[in-house]
Structure 1
Amino acid sequence: MPYLSRIRINPLRTQSRRLLASPHVLHGAVQGGFPGPPGAERTLWRLDADDPYRPHVYVLSRSRPDWTHLVESAGWPGAAGERAAVRDYEPLLKRLAEGQEYAFRLTANPVRNTVKPEFLTPSQAKKLARVPEGAKARGFRVAHRTAQAQLDWFLGHTDRWGFGVSGSRTDPAAPGLAEPSDDVRDVQDVRPGSGPQEVRITARRRHSFAKGDGTRRVTFNSATFEGRLRIRDVELFSATLLAGIGPAKAYGCGLLTVAPLRQE
């Protein structure tokens, strides 16, 4: 039975600063919410730090967690209100139906596979040098680095995730009003000829941190997407919610969350 958790983080505490600064450290703290050896529980998680004074960590897990260690070391153990909420995820999955619309949020690691990267890293160059002549080289995972490329990646994959992005409900500007800036136009014209769609990138980051004994570095790019989606295939969509989207899931990418649309 899956569970969705939300943990309030106190950003002024020493341990909180370590967690907020490193996806690797936060991953370890998330894994500490489950019994058994590290990695026994496969989780999806996301750090939402839009409000730097009230960051939250969301975690989707198969079994029910215990967040006492996080609340005591990085939260508000004595404060009023819900310090760590844990909710059964099954009722949401049972309510899903084709055609339903939800507000959504996703932090993902947009990448593509290519056998000919534009810029080879030293490790990629070594791998290519070891490929026998005439043999087919395996593709390399390459990050999408621009906002437009990341948006195109997201919109180009929604069908396989069981949903589509709803059309924008914003009316065209009245005559005489200023044209939108280039940044706004880039985000609106996500599919030529299809009209504006309800999706935007609210945050973009490049992460780089040491892992293990410090000799290995992990580097990846993340983008946070928000908007409005419409379910097209309930089975596919449910699987997407539970399995996550894209790589770097251990480091806070892949968790798609949905919420009822606000009444206007």
Structure 2
Amino acid sequence: MYLARVEIATKNRQKIKDLTHLGAYHNWVEQSFPDEINLSERKRHLWRLDQLAGKNYLLVLSENRPDEEYLKKYGVSGTVKVKPYNQFLDAIRNGEVMQFRLTANPSYSVLQPGKKRGRVYPHVTVKQQRQWLKEKAKKAGFKLVQQRLLDSKDDDGLAFDIVSRDHPVLYREKGRAMRLSRVTFEGLLQVQDVTVFKETLTKGLGREKAFGMGLMTVITEV
């Protein structure tokens, strides 16, 4: 596994003029793996958009190493960084407390009469979105830490918060535009089942993984 990051050239309007919706970012990520395209062996790539110290970044987690030339297509020159991820994953242990950041699409499915698949609806309130993560945690191999370390908008005493919420545009087939619910969580978690947790980190959490949702990153809490 590899974790890559590049600063997006937001100050160069001409360079990033194509990045007008989530599908364009998806295409940027996919094109950064030309060997997979040539071999018709497309892998799933988790990615998300991050903002740090006023700068915007594309973060990509992948099984194969991305091509840095393609990855910097819309990036600031000299900002591409690619690091092996397996050694970090192998060092994670049960009981470890970690800081996390997750961008996700909190949603739920309602079964429709006569249909095999349910209709998907987004969770819209902060309370609903927090509850979504609390319900996902156990099956994802972790639990949320019971500490009031962050400025929680809920009274559950859990040390995590929602730091951003928006509805970016995605163009589906025939140019039809739709907006997805995108929520970024930050806080503290404790690893409960390291095998399942590693799968969460590498396969993502929730829906719309192809469009910048589901990628959770963690660092050890000191």
TM-score scaled by structure 1? Answer: 0.76
Counterpart in the other structure of 2:82 = 86
Match of 1:167 among 122, 146, 149: 146
Counterpart in the other structure of 1:246 = 206
Question: Does the CA-based 8 Å contact 2:10-2:16 persist in structure 1?
Answer: yes
Partners of 1:137 and 1:239 lie apart in 2 by 27
Per-residue CA deviation, residues 80-134 of structure 1 (Å, 9 max, x unaligned), is xxx1111111111110111101110000000111136xxxxxxxxxxx6xx4xxx
Question: Does the CA-based 8 Å contact 1:11-1:17 persist in structure 2?
Answer: no
Deviation at 1:244, TM superposition (A): 0.3
Q: Which runs of 5+ in 2 are unaligned?
A: none
Name the Cα RMSD after superposition.
2.2
Q: Does 1:149 align with 2:128?
A: yes
Matched to 1:94, the amino acid is D
Matched to 1:15, the amino acid is K
Question: Does the CA-based 8 Å contact 2:144-2:160 persist in structure 1?
Answer: yes
1:243 to 1:210, Cα distance in 2 relative to 1, 3 A: same
Counterpart in the other structure of 1:180 = none
Deviation at 1:8, TM superposition (A): 1.3
Partners of 2:209 and 2:160 lie apart in 1 by 22
Matched to 1:63, the amino acid is N
Deviation at 1:189, TM superposition (A): 1.5
Counterpart in the other structure of 1:205 = 166
Counterpart in the other structure of 1:176 = none
Partners of 1:39 and 1:142 lie apart in 2 by 32
Partners of 2:100 and 2:55 lie apart in 1 by 20
Matched to 1:243, the amino acid is K
Partners of 1:91 and 1:145 lie apart in 2 by 37
Question: Does the CA-based 8 Å contact 1:31-1:39 persist in structure 2?
Answer: no
Give the number of aligned pairs: 218
1:226 to 1:17, Cα distance in 2 relative to 1, 3 A: farther
1:248 to 1:39, Cα distance in 2 relative to 1, 3 A: farther
Moved over 3 A (4+): none
Matched to 2:154, the amino acid is Q
Per-residue CA deviation, residues 24-49 of structure 1 (Å, 9 max, x unaligned), is 10110011110233881210000003
Question: Does the CA-based 8 Å contact 2:9-2:15 persist in structure 1?
Answer: no
Matched to 2:44, the amino acid is R
Question: Does the CA-based 8 Å contact 2:170-2:180 persist in structure 1?
Answer: no
Farther off after superposition, 107-116 or 2-11:
107-116
Per-residue CA deviation, residues 51-98 of structure 1 (Å, 9 max, x unaligned), is 4x4111110001011121342x32222x5xxx1111111111110111
TM-score scaled by structure 2? Answer: 0.89
Deviation at 1:212, TM superposition (A): 4.3
Matched to 1:92, the amino acid is F
Per-residue CA deviation, residues 218-263 of structure 1 (Å, 9 max, x unaligned), is 33201100001100000110111111001101110000000122x4
Matched to 1:74, the amino acid is Y
Partners of 1:260 and 1:168 lie apart in 2 by 16
Partners of 1:115 and 1:55 lie apart in 2 by 38
Partners of 2:110 and 2:124 lie apart in 1 by 15
Where does 1:47-126 land on structure 2 (aligned, <5 Å)? 47-49=49-51, 51=53, 53-71=54-72, 73-77=73-77, 83-115=79-111
Partners of 2:119 and 2:145 lie apart in 1 by 32
Matched to 1:104, the amino acid is F
Question: Does the CA-based 8 Å contact 1:8-1:54 persist in structure 2?
Answer: yes
Q: Highest Rg: 1 or 2? A: 1
Matched to 2:64, the amino acid is S
1:5 aligned counterpart, secondary structure: strand
